[in-house]
Chains A and B, each alone.
Chain A
Amino acid sequence: MSATETARPTKGPDTSRVVLSVRDLKKWFPIRKGLFSRVVGHVKAVDGVSFDIHAGETLGLVGESGCGKTTVGRTILRLNDPVTAGIAEFHGQDVFELQGGDLRALRRRMQIIFQDPYSSLNPRMTVESIVGEALTVHGMVANKKERRERVQDLLEKCGLDPIRHITRYPHEFSGGQRQRIGIARAIALEPELIVCDEPVSALDVSIQAQVINLLQRLQEEMGIAYLFIAHGLAVVEHISHRVAVMYLGRIAEIADTETLYANPVHPYTQALLSAIPSPDPDAPLNPHPLEGEVPTPINPPAGCRFHPRCRFAEDRCKSNTTPIPIYEVGPGHRVACILGENVDGAKRVGELVHGDDETSAS
């Protein structure tokens, strides 16, 4: 990949084809205590999340550490069974109802690049087996020779040395190199959707650029859709067509990328945008830090979950008696905040449901 190569025009997402449609997804982890492992509460990691992803589209998912991003990704891929509530339709079929062979087929069409490049690679397998295993399992290569060629091709695409690296084991690689092995594995099966869980945060900037360019090229060539999880807003802006901002298990705001960055409505989105470190030694590290503590998803605040840290919070934000409205403030631009009402042409399209539904959780 050359730095001088000019940008190819992106075909862009096919908005007529929804690949994944998630509605009211909840994943609560039970907290157990004592001799009989009695359930004494729940970590409400994901608590009512909805979004769509179209063919060839990248949806960025950002938010503070612990807000539930990984849990969204893993739950959709059935790596966090059982789901607490909600549906996730992949090409119209609810993934939570799939079993056996159907589930295996889904796993081919939906892949994940794991956040932690260390524990997700089997230490006893060579790179060739790690990347090539699924190719054999799903009958995508005829023989060993073909498999090797295919793996070498994938390694090269990901900026690894196709000859020297193929026989090595994961511990013989640096952190960034391991991350790229995980990427090679995920794209090997040419899936339709990849959950990319912080795929570039362990990489240096130049390799970051290489990997993002690679993901974008694969998307153009194969129409892959990405759920792109990251905390670096700059990177998300670059790769995403739309961005969803998550706070404590819920989506605070979702919009196409340009709109979200130019006209953020939710105070949390605004705070995140102002907190990007700049590569300038004179700039302060964080000009507008978020005030206050990150609350826990065990006992999330009543009302708007962001209210204890919000500069604009009013009384109606602070209790469960008035639900927090969801406004559509522009085409495809939704925000779960009372401030939505001040935007010209805003339409109230729903509300965040409060209440202690502790009993309904499995």
Chain B
Amino acid sequence: MTERGQARLLEVSGLQTEFVTDDGLVRAVDGVSFSVDRGEILGIVGESGCGKSVTNLSVMGLLPKPQGRIVGGSVFFDGRDLVGLPESELRSVRGNRIAMIFQDPMTSLNPYLRVEEQLVEVAELHMGLSRPEAVKRAVELLDRCGIPDAARRIRGYPHEFSGGMRQRVMIAMALLCDPDLLIADEPTTALDVTIQAQILELIKELRDERGMGVILITHDLGVVAGMCDRVLVMYAGRVVEEAAVEPLFATPGHPYTAALLRSVPTLDDEAHGKLQSIAGLPPRLDGGSFRQCTFLPRCALAHDACNEGDPELIEETPGRKRRCILPVEQVR
């Protein structure tokens, strides 16, 4: 168990992140707030490009420079605002207390170094282990992540691993330093269901044993259902719904959430029929303000009042927020 301080493990408020590109500004994250407690698993879901990865890269202070920057809001980790901290201090927080499993496996793997070197370096640097201890720990974690014959395979290079094995190496690397907060960005996309279940169990175990907080970004609603305590639904750089997992699945409070739940392929779908998708594209994120609900052009339930301004994110019942003017019973 970690010590339980007064402050929340992570408290993000009003986060805004922008990119400067050749054809103007992209406001990828537009006023996002959420928190994560010790021992809690928060899921983040939402359409591709809605800002899930950029939100978390902002939390980690890992935005690409100079194009990307945080232009507003705060990121309190264990009582200290990480926004504006000097790089050296951020690096120590990242190495020792917050770990991230990146969506892009090659961000954290060096193609020219054997997997062993990369893992052992992390264990030596951040945990002060001796070389043999570090190797032992690395092999043990690879093994727990389901890499067969880990003691031998650890000596290979990343390109000698399959897609899913590379992903598991990254997961092992993130878990090596026993983080207080784990940010996992689509950690199991390349994994089949059996290994996925094994990895998710491992994350749960570490949560239970050590009170690790977890942010789990995934598009797999089955994983959300099985893993998360609370869920944040993002759309176009903003939060459109936040709720505990059961009520979210039972009675989605935003038409976007409802549409997401409908587009899950299930085993008893009619084969070769069309899958349900949400027609249309999300709005452009150029930093302008919205005069109508951002989801309106794609919303099957929209009516006249939805034109009269972008709804606020309102906490209707404790722990449940949503950004839609329809009464919750009418959301389908």
Interface residues of A (CB under 8 A from B): 1-3, 5-8, 10, 29, 43, 62-66, 70-71, 115-116, 118-119, 159, 161, 164, 167-168, 171-177, 180, 197-198, 201-210, 212-213, 216, 231-235, 237-239, 241, 257-258, 261, 271-272, 275-281, 283-286, 289-290, 293-296, 298
In the bound assembly, the distance between CA atoms of A177 and B50 in angstroms comes to: 11
Interface string of B213-227 (1 = CB under 8 A from A): 000000111111111
Task: Tell me, yes or no, whether B3 is within 8 Å of chain A by CB.
Answer: no
In the bound assembly, the distance between CA atoms of A278 and B226 in angstroms comes to: 8
Q: Are A289 and B197 in contact (CB under 8 A)?
A: yes
Task: Tell me, yes or no, whether B309 is within 8 Å of chain A by CB.
Answer: no
In the bound assembly, the distance between CA atoms of A231 and B64 in angstroms comes to: 32
Specify which of B164, B267, B277 is in contact with A206 (CB 8 Å cutoff).
B277
In the bound assembly, the distance between CA atoms of A198 and B264 in angstroms comes to: 17
Q: Could you give 24 example pairs across A and B, Cβ below 8 Å? A: A3-B300, A7-B274, A65-B162, A65-B168, A66-B162, A118-B104, A119-B106, A168-B22, A172-B26, A174-B48, A174-B52, A175-B103, A176-B49, A180-B48, A202-B189, A206-B259, A207-B277, A212-B275, A231-B191, A233-B267, A238-B265, A239-B272, A276-B222, A277-B197
Specify which of A7, A63, A231 is in contact with B273 (CB 8 Å cutoff).
A7
Cβ-closest chain B residue relative to A211:
B277
Residues of chain A within 8 A (CB-CB) of B191 are 65, 231
Q: Are A295 and B275 in contact (CB under 8 A)?
A: no
Task: Tell me, yes or no, whether B1 is within 8 Å of chain A by CB.
Answer: no
5 further A-B pairs in the complex, CB-CB below 8 A; given A172-B21, A285-B226, A296-B152: A116-B106, A172-B19, A202-B189, A204-B260, A271-B194
Q: Are A238 and B222 in contact (CB under 8 A)?
A: no
In the bound assembly, the distance between CA atoms of A232 and B269 in angstroms comes to: 14
Q: Are B278 and A206 in contact (CB under 8 A)?
A: yes
10 A-B pairs with the lowest CB-CB distances in the bound complex, closest first: A176-B48, A65-B164, A277-B222, A204-B219, A231-B192, A209-B275, A209-B277, A286-B197, A296-B149, A275-B193
Cβ-closest chain B residue relative to A63:
B192
Q: Are A174 and B263 in contact (CB under 8 A)?
A: no
Task: Tell me, yes or no, whether B76 is within 8 Å of chain A by CB.
Answer: no
| Minimum Cβ distance to chain A for residue B208 (Å) | 15
Residues of chain A within 8 A (CB-CB) of B105 are 116, 118
Interface residues of B (CB under 8 A from A): 19, 21-23, 26, 45-49, 52-54, 64, 67, 103-107, 146, 148-149, 152-153, 160, 162-165, 168, 186, 189-198, 200-201, 219-227, 245-246, 249, 259-261, 263-267, 269-279, 281, 284, 300
Q: Are B190 and A198 in contact (CB under 8 A)?
A: yes
Q: Are A213 and B275 in contact (CB under 8 A)?
A: yes
In the bound assembly, the distance between CA atoms of A195 and B194 in angstroms comes to: 24
Residues of chain A within 8 A (CB-CB) of B22 are 167-168
Q: Are A209 and B265 in contact (CB under 8 A)?
A: yes
In the bound assembly, the distance between CA atoms of A176 and B47 in angstroms comes to: 9
| Minimum Cβ distance to chain B for residue A361 (Å) | 17
Cβ-closest chain B residue relative to A273:
B267
Count A-B contacts at CB 8 Å.
224
In the bound assembly, the distance between CA atoms of A275 and B197 in angstroms comes to: 9
Cβ-closest chain B residue relative to A299:
B149
Q: Are A277 and B225 in contact (CB under 8 A)?
A: yes
| Minimum Cβ distance to chain A for residue B78 (Å) | 29
Q: Are A281 and B249 in contact (CB under 8 A)?
A: yes
In the bound assembly, the distance between CA atoms of A101 and B216 in angstroms comes to: 48
In the bound assembly, the distance between CA atoms of A204 and B265 in angstroms comes to: 11
In the bound assembly, the distance between CA atoms of A171 and B106 in angstroms comes to: 13
Residues of chain B within 8 A (CB-CB) of A290 are 194
Q: Are A208 and B106 in contact (CB under 8 A)?
A: no
Residues of chain B within 8 A (CB-CB) of A209 are 263, 265, 275-277
Residues of chain A within 8 A (CB-CB) of B48 are 174-177, 180, 203-204, 207
Given contacts A65-B195, A176-B48, A298-B152, contact A261 B267 (CB under 8 A): yes
Scoring A3, A205, A207, A289 by chain B CB atoms within 10 A of each residue's CB, the highest score goes to A205
Q: Are A204 and B246 in contact (CB under 8 A)?
A: no
Residues of chain B within 8 A (CB-CB) of A171 are 64
In the bound assembly, the distance between CA atoms of A5 and B22 in angstroms comes to: 37
Given contacts A66-B165, A279-B249, contact A204 B45 (CB under 8 A): yes
Q: Are B263 and A238 in contact (CB under 8 A)?
A: no
| Minimum Cβ distance to chain B for residue A295 (Å) | 6
Scoring A71, A235, A296 by chain B CB atoms within 10 A of each residue's CB, the highest score goes to A296
Given contacts A164-B284, A167-B22, A167-B23, contact A65 B165 (CB under 8 A): yes
| Minimum Cβ distance to chain A for residue B59 (Å) | 16
Residues of chain A within 8 A (CB-CB) of B264 are 205, 279
Scoring B163, B192, B276 by chain A CB atoms within 10 A of each residue's CB, the highest score goes to B192
Cβ-closest chain A residue relative to B104:
A118
In the bound assembly, the distance between CA atoms of A43 and B134 in angstroms comes to: 26
| Minimum Cβ distance to chain B for residue A184 (Å) | 14
Given contacts A198-B163, A279-B249, A280-B225, contact A1 B277 (CB under 8 A): yes
